[in-house]
Amino acid sequence: MTGTDPGIRGARTAAAKTLRELPGLVRAWPDHDRGMVFERRDAAGLLRAGRIDVEGRLRTLAYAEDPALPELSPQLLHQQSGSRLVVHRAGRRAVVISTDRVHKLLRAGRAARLADPRAARPFVRAGLRTPEVLDRSPSRLDLELLPGRALHDLGDAGLPGWQRLAELWPGVPRPEALPEHTGADEAKVLNRWYRQAHALGVLDTAGASPAGLGDAVGRVSALLCEPGDPPAASHRDLHDGQLLWDGTTLSLLDLDTAALAEPGLDLGNLAAHLDLARIQGRFGAAGHAQVGSILEDLGRELADESRLSVYYLASRLRLIFVHAFRPGAAQWLPAWASESIKLAASPTTAWTTRTTTGG
C-alpha cells in the first residue's frame, strides 16, 4: 500500500499544522480532498464548526449557523431553555439536544433516508430500546431523548449495562431485509481512513511510520475480503458511546448504518473500543477484564474466531486514523499504534492475543 503521492501529501501537511495550533479543538474529520472540518470551543465555551483547507487556511462558521444545514440556527436553541448544540460537522450535520428530544439537522433531502423503522426492528425484537421518531422534515429529524448515560461515560460503573448487553445481543444477529455490508466494504472504509489521514499529514501523532501502518492495513484488508461468516443484522457502528444504561433498560442509538454484515463486525468494534477505554484510562484493569470476558463469550457464540480477529484489528487500525485528527491522542496513540502493528503481524489470532496485550 503506497498511499498518496508524496508531493500532494507534502502540500497538505499545512492543514495538520493549522489543526494542531487551533485553540479549543474538540475533534476533526477529513473532508474528502478539500482538507478537514473541525469542532472547537470558543472563548465563551460555544461549540463552533469550521474548515481547514489543504493549504492550511482556516474558516470558522458563526455559532449554530451553516449554509448547508437550513434548519440550524441560534433560534432553534432558544426555543427551549437548556437546549445544547452538541455536534456540528460543517456542511454535513448538527445535533441539538433539548429537554425531551434530539434534533438532527442535515442537508436538504437527507433526513428522509434516516430512522427507517426496518433498521430498528432486529434490535427492538431482541429487547433493546431505540428512540422513537417524533417529527421530521426534509432536513431535520427529531428523535425521542432516551434516559441513561452512555457506557462510554460510565466506565467501570457501567458493568451491569454490559451484562445486560450479553443477555440481549444474541437475539440480534439474524437475517433481515437490510442493506448488505461485506468484508470488502469494510476494507474500503479502513483504506479510505488510512489514505485521508496519511494525505493530510496527521499520522505523526501515531508515532509509527505511515508505511508500517499501511502494511498492517493491507494485511487486514486482504483478510476482510476473504469469505467469512454468514451475514446477519448488525448495527455497523457499535461502540460504547452508542449504548445507554439507566440501571434498568439498555438503549441503542444511531441506527442509520444498520446492515447485513458478519457478526464479527459489531463485536470486533466493541472490543476495540473497550481496549481504547482502558488505554485512555476510562476503564480500570478489573472492569476491562470483566467486560472483555463478556465479549469473548459473545464471540464464541456468534462468530468464528478468525473473523472476530480480523474485524477487531480493522476497528483498532481505523481508530488510529480517527483519533489522529483529535487533541490529546499523542498521550496514548503511539502505544496503541505500536501494539496494533504488532497484532497485525498475526491477524487471525488477534482476538485471543488481545486478552493479554490489547488495552
pTM, rounded to two decimals? 0.94
What's the pLDDT at 294? 97
Whether 213 maps to a domain, the answer reads: yes
Q: Does residue 27 form part of some domain?
A: no
Residue-wise pLDDT for 119-167, tens only, equals 999 999 999 999 999 999 999 999 999 999 999 999 999 999 999 999 9
pLDDT tens by residue, 107-117: 999 888 888 88
39 lies in a domain? no
| Domain annotation covers residue 342 | yes
* pLDDT value at 357 more than 60: no
Phi/psi for 55 (5° steps) reads -95, 5
- Residue 212: inside a domain, yes or no? yes
**Quick one: which H or E segment has residue 160?**
helix 159-168
Cell numbers representing residue 157 in the block: 460503573
Q: What is the pLDDT of residues 177-192, one digit of tens each?
A: 899 999 999 999 999 9
Residue type, 165: L
Residue 132 resides in a domain: no
Question: In whole angstroms, how far apart are CA 88 and each of 106, 156, 272, 277, 347?
Answer: 10, 29, 26, 24, 36
Q: For residue 314, what are the domain limits?
A: 149-359
Task: List all residues 6 or more positions away from 335 whose beta carbon is below 8 Å from its beta carbon.
Answer: 279
Domain containing residue 331: CATH number: 3.90.1200.10
If one counts the domains in the chain, the total is 1
Domain membership of residue 303 (yes or no) is yes
186 exposure class (CB count in 10 Å sphere: 0-12, 13-18, 19+) = buried
Percentage of the chain exceeding pLDDT 70: 95
Q: Which range is least confidently modeled, 89-98, 167-176, 201-210, 349-358?
A: 349-358
